[in-house]
Amino acid sequence: MLPKTYRKVIASHFSSHFREAATIVEAELLPPAAHEITVRNHYAGVNATDVNISAGSYTPGSQPPIDLGAEMVGEVVAVGEKVTEFKVGDYVTTNSLGGYAEYVTVRSRYAMPVPEATPEVLSLVISGTTAAIGLKVTGEMRTNETVLVTAAAGGTGQFAVQLAKLAGNQVIGTCSSEDKAELLRQLGCDRVINYRQEDVGAVLKAEYPRGVDLVYESVGGQLFDTCVDNLAVRGRLVIIGYISEYLSAPEMVTRPRIYRTLLSKSATLRGMFLLHFIKQVPEQMAELVKLYTAGKLQAAVDGRTFRGVEQVADAVEYLHSGRSSGKVVVTFAG
Ligand SMILES: NC(=O)c1ccc[n+]([C@@H]2O[C@H](COP(=O)([O-])OP(=O)(O)OC[C@H]3O[C@@H](n4cnc5c(N)ncnc54)[C@H](OP(=O)(O)O)[C@@H]3O)[C@@H](O)[C@H]2O)c1
């Protein structure tokens, strides 16, 4: 028996200050339409970009309110009359807006089947597939190359490290604490740089004088500049994000245009935004689930517990504090 109402987190107005934008509302839980399924949320994934979603950057032209939360995993509790691919009791994940809700109703083609509704499987949905597509498709990852991952112990960084290792590369990862460094070593990272203890540029120059072949870059600012400066000839830098500027105005920089550096090394910068690769997600997700189930891929989940709609803003702020390690999740019914 389903409840008549459920609670969800919406942006009542747009702001990158997530807590200020977020409002908890109660909504009617309607039966799914013919092609829809209703899913009871077990875990919602927290993403750095939640603050961009609450700022309205993901829905250009739209007006608030919008539903917040980018992904969830849970159990199907009702199916529309034309749905054939899912039945009540199946575990599914979704990566469309509205993940911070007790129940989610989506068109069945926007749901992906998963073997279990766990935080680990959830971590593969956005964080894992971004790493897979960012490295393999956009980054044209090869083997026997040097791969540098920034924010390497984070939600997506951890998968970039492991996938680059699985492909037979030498992997360097940056992070900010000894605990994260330990996690990275355990994930197989060959050279961990705790940037609070060592200067990233100096380490790269001294230990990788030929430069880095492929960079998975999520931080931006000075670290981005350092990565560009240390690209190898024909190096590729995949821009995954620039978290250091999500909560502040863009830093204005005056320096020679970047074509000097890039041309002198035949190097390239490539942006990768998951929404533009959405058709490739189910295939990459299935591949990641296979690796995870076979024990070839670990999925680190942060140890801090956040529960329900009330603690969503706490979880988003925790991720942006820089202290989290692995995937941050909010527990709804797990
Ligand atoms: N392009 C896409 O489609 C896509 C998809 C998913 C994620 N992303 C991007 O990937 C990056 C990581 O996202 P995530 O959700 O997986 O987060 P996360 O890595 O789990 O958490 C953020 C981490 O970034 C590092 N960081 C560096 N400078 C920071 C700063 N100024 N403020 C806060 N954290 C800082 C911190 O680790 P250390 O300082 O210890 O390294 C922090 O733990 C973000 O840029 C995000 O936008 C992009």
Distance 242 CA to ligand 1 centre (A): 8
Ligand 1 atom with least separation from CA of 218:
45
Q: Are residues 42 and 95 located together in one domain of the fold?
A: yes
Asked if 34 contacts 81 with a C-beta cutoff of 8 angstroms, the reply is yes
Q: Which residues pair with 283 in a beta bridge?
A: none
Q: Are residues 318 and 228 located together in one domain of the fold?
A: no
Closest listed residue to residue 11, CA positions, set 56, 62, 57, 45 = 56
Nearest protein CA to atom 25 of ligand 1, as residue: 151
Nearest protein CA to atom 29 of ligand 1, as residue: 244
Is 265 a domain residue? Answer: yes
Q: Are residues 72 and 192 located together in one domain of the fold?
A: no
Q: Are residues 59 and 166 located together in one domain of the fold?
A: no
Q: How high is the pLDDT of residue 1?
A: 86
Q: Which domain holds residue 96?
A: 5-123+299-331
Q: How high is the pLDDT of residue 215?
A: 99
Is 134 a domain residue? Answer: no
Cα separation, 174 vs 152, whole angstroms: 6
Specify the CATH number for the domain of residue 231. 3.40.50.720
Q: Are residues 187 and 221 located together in one domain of the fold?
A: yes
Distance 243 CA to ligand 1 centre (A): 5
Ligand 1 atom with least separation from CA of 151:
41
Ligand 1 atom with least separation from CA of 242:
45
Q: Are residues 147 and 231 located together in one domain of the fold?
A: yes
Nearest protein CA to atom 18 of ligand 1, as residue: 154
What are the backbone angles phi and psi of residue 171, rounded to the nearest 5°? -115, 130
Distance 287 CA to ligand 1 centre (A): 23
pLDDT digits over 299-328, tens only?
999 999 999 999 999 999 999 999 999 999
Distance 230 CA to ligand 1 centre (A): 21
DSSP for 226-251, please give it.
HHHHTEEEEEEEEE---GGGTTSPPP
Ranges of the chain with pLDDT below 70? none
Ligand 1 atom with least separation from CA of 324:
43
Pocket around ligand 1 at a 6 A CB cut-off: 47-49, 126-127, 130, 151, 153-157, 174-176, 180, 218-219, 240-241, 243-244, 272-274, 319-320, 322, 324
Nearest protein CA to atom 27 of ligand 1, as residue: 219
Q: How high is the pLDDT of residue 59?
A: 87
Is 189 a domain residue? Answer: yes
Neighbours of 44 (CB within 10 A): 32
Q: How high is the pLDDT of residue 334?
A: 72
Specify the CATH number for the domain of residue 323. 3.90.180.10
Is 131 a domain residue? Answer: no
DSSP for 269-286, please give it.
EEE--GGGGGGGHHHHHH
Q: How many structural domains compose the chain?
A: 2
Distance 216 CA to ligand 1 centre (A): 11
Nearest protein CA to atom 42 of ligand 1, as residue: 322
pLDDT digits over 14-55, tens only?
999 999 999 999 999 999 999 999 999 999 999 999 999 999
Is 130 a domain residue? Answer: no
Q: How high is the pLDDT of residue 50?
A: 98
The runs of H, that is alpha helices, within the chain are 18-21, 50-54, 119-123, 129-132, 157-166, 178-186, 200-207, 221-229, 259-265, 281-293, 312-320
- Please work out, in degrees rounded to the nearest 5, the angle formed at the alpha carbon of residue 171 by the alpha carbons of 170 and 175: 160
Ligand 1 atom with least separation from CA of 243:
45
Q: What is the pTM of this model?
A: 0.98
Neighbours of 327 (CB within 10 A): 28
Q: Are residues 267 and 322 located together in one domain of the fold?
A: no
